[in-house]
Structure 1
Amino acid sequence: MENNHGSQPISVMHVPTIIETARLTMIQMSLHEQDLLFELDQDEAVMRYINGGRKTTMEDIEQRFMPRLRRYHNPLKGYGLWKVIGKDVSAITEDNCAIAELAGQFLGWILVRPMFFFTDHPHLHDIELGWRFKQSTWGRGIATEAAKAVADLIASHSEVTALSAIADEANTGSINIMKKLGMTFVKKAAHPDVPDNQHVVFYSLSLK
């Protein structure tokens, strides 16, 4: 299979369409779930470190977000967005009772794509992970649980040599997730996906 940039072929991964953990189900999102993306982005707190707290409009999603997603969406390789759904917890225990009210709800997403994908030289063996979650999940370990499950799947493929992530330096919640995934600080620098040449922190985990 040729990658989107027409360079050397990368082997096809065998990726399941559903990943499950004790509390969550991750499902590869289709290219027709704009309503879920819009719903998530209507919380100014969720958007604080993305664009300063501005709610995303449906026009933003249709004209900017979706065209970008279509370029790296590749279910066979696990690239794209994985929507995270709260499980219907039938046995209420001390560990899961706190998320029982989230059962069946869309909680957020995990992003997967090659690092520097939208440049002339994407890092095809270094996979970028990202995440965005509703406030109702914050402080409950849900984002970490989901990110780790997806990270473990992607890391299991021999062609992947590293996992990476970026964040606003002030976004300690996201940085804590990176650390829990085993990533360590690499540098603070500009990233082509971040507007106005704003610097972000880079974290990475070498798998080789």
Structure 2
Amino acid sequence: MHINNSERLKFRLMDAQDAQALWQIDQDPQVMKYLNGGKPTSMAQVNNVFIPRMEQYRDDKLGWGIWQVSDKLTDEYLGWVLIRPMAFFTDAANDKDLELGWRFFQSTWGKGYATEAAIAVKNAVVANTDISHVSALAVADNAGSISVMKKMGMSFVRAYLHQDAIGDFDAVHYQMSVNS
């Protein structure tokens, strides 16, 4: 699958060769604040946990995976957007409800890049798949991510303890219906 450039951004599906780029964005404690309390990710964690998990859900035909987001004029790496089935790493994976997630360098915050990128990825994947919903999760006090969810048109669904092999967290779940 290909995602067309948006107004300011271009997209490329990342793979195992992108370990350095995935590691790089995780070195800012502010970027990691709501993910693990602000600890930088080690290269070993990227190679031994993050990349293998990504490879489990990555599907270039369906558009599932982590999409690198770059400035279409300067080619500057700004961040990434993840898209995969909700609850992918459980027995209740739901490929009719796709989960969006994002991570952007702090220097890009407040400029609308995460919203623009998440909408572009969502629109491309929705247009080419048979899904009913798009969801996103965040910790309850991550106002930046919740703002992106609301700007996309998502509504609050629930607050709950999200359980995952790499760490549990008190989550808020936002969701929107899509017309396939």
* Alignment TM-score, normalising by the size of structure 2: 0.95
Query: What percentage of residue pairs aligned between the two structures are identical?
Result: 42
Gaps of 5+ in 2: none
Higher strand share: 2
Larger radius of gyration between Structure 1 and Structure 2: 1
Match of 1:152?
A: 123
Q: Which residue of 2 aligns with 1:41?
A: 26
Q: Of 79, 89, 106, which aligns to 1:135?
A: 106
Moved beyond 4 Å, runs of 4+: none
Report whether the alignment pairs 1:78 with 2:63. Answer: yes
Partner deviation per Cα, 1:125-182 (whole Å, 9 max, x = no partner): 1000000000111010011111111111122235110000000101000000001111
CA drift of 1:196 comes to 5.5
Between Structure 1 and Structure 2, the one with more helix by share is: 2
What is the alpha-carbon distance in structure 2 between the residues aligned to residue 148 and residue 157 of structure 1? 14
Q: CA RMSD in A?
A: 1.4
| Runs of 5+ consecutive residues of structure 1 not aligned to the other structure | 1-14, 89-102
Once the two structures are superposed, what CA deviation does each residue of 1:70-90 show, in whole Å capped at 9, x if it has no partner?
1001111101100001121xx
TM-score by length of 1: 0.82
Corresponding residue to 1:179 among 150, 153, 156: 150
Retained in 2: the 8 A contact 1:111–1:131?
yes
Q: Which amino acid aligns with 1:112?
A: I
Count of residues in correspondence between the two structures: 179
> How far apart, CA to CA, are the structure 2 residues paired with 1:196 and 1:51?
8
Instruction: Measure the CA separation in 2 of the matches of 1:32 and 1:197.
Output: 28
Residue identity opposite 1:143 in structure 2? A
Read off the aligned partner of 1:107 and give its amino acid letter: L
- Name the counterpart of 2:44: 59
Q: Following the alignment from structure 2 to structure 1, what is the Cα–Cα distance between the partners of residues 40 and 168?
A: 21
Separation of aligned partners in 2, 1:125 and 1:136: 34
